[in-house]
Each structure stands twice: as structure tokens, then as C-alpha cells.
Amino acid sequence: MDPFSSSSGGLSSSSAPSSEALMNQLKVQLAQAYAEEFLETVRSKCFTKCITKPGTSLSGSESSCISRCVERYIEATGIVGRALFNSTSR
């Protein structure tokens, strides 16, 4: 399936897509990409940093470390997002 089609309400070749439909589809794709990037970053960076001895459960310090790491990542992406949004809306 190409990135501009979907199983529900996809674009058909018989009618031209509206710009609103394309924007909505782009928003969905960007949200999916952000979620995938977020999970990959948390997995690679936070897990690597915080989990020193993998086991069947997290220790208290590992859990705290992961929480802080995720919170910092969310805060940082928010700052970057706001900076980008503010620079493009001027």
C-alpha cells in the first residue's frame, strides 16, 4: 500500500482528493511517525541508559530513571516543536 492510500476512505483514482483530505492524511501520518520515533528513542536511549541488569522486573532506581528519561524527552520534543511552530508561523 502506498503512503497516500488507506483501507478506509482512501483516495480513489476517479476523483481528485481535496486539500483538506490530504492535510488530514498527512497529519495522521506525521502523528504515526512521531509515535514510532518516540517509542524507538525511549527504547534505545532510555532503556540503554537506565537498565543496567535486565531481568524479569524493574528495580526502583531503574523505574525512576526511565520515568525521568521519558519526561525529559517529552519536554525536549515539546520545546523543539514549539520553537519550530513559532518560527513557521511568523
Q: Tell me, what CATH number does 32's domain have?
A: 1.10.287.810
In a domain, 35, yes or no: yes
Let me know if residue 14 belongs to a domain: no
CA proximity to 62, closest of 70, 48, 51, 78: 51
Q: Is residue 10 part of a domain?
A: no
Q: How many domains does the chain have?
A: 1
Q: How far are the Cα atoms of 25, 41, 44, 65, 83 from residue 38, in angstroms, in the given order?
A: 20, 5, 10, 17, 18
Whether the predicted pLDDT of 6 surpasses 60: no
Helices (H), 42-59: 47-50
Q: What pLDDT shows up at residue 56?
A: 92
Within-domain flag for 31 = yes
Look at residue 77 in the predicted model and tell me its pLDDT.
85
Q: Examine residue 30 and state whether it is found in any structural domain, yes or no.
A: yes
The answer to whether residue 4 is domain-embedded is no
19-78 pLDDT tens trace: 888 999 999 999 999 889 888 988 899 988 999 888 899 999 999 999 999 999 889 888
| pLDDT surpassing 80 at residue 83 | yes
For residue 11, tell me if it sits in a domain. no
Provide the residue range defining the domain that includes 26. 19-51+58-88
CB 70 within 8 A of CB 42: yes
Asked whether residue 43 is assigned to any structural domain, the reply reads yes
